[in-house]
Amino acid sequence: MVKKQIGIWMDHSFAFIITLENNKVVENIVELEIPQLETDYDSGNNEKLKNNKSQQFQVNYYKKLIDWIKNYQEVILFGPTDAKKELLNMLKDEHFFKNIHIEIQDSDKMTSMQMHDFVTAYFK
| Per-residue model confidence as pLDDT tens digits over 70-105 | 999 999 999 999 999 999 999 988 888 988 999 999
Domains of the chain: 5-122 (3.30.420.60)
| Segment 30-40 mean pLDDT | 72
Q: How far apart are CA 53 and CA 55, in angstroms?
A: 5
Rg (CA), the chain: 16
pTM: 0.85
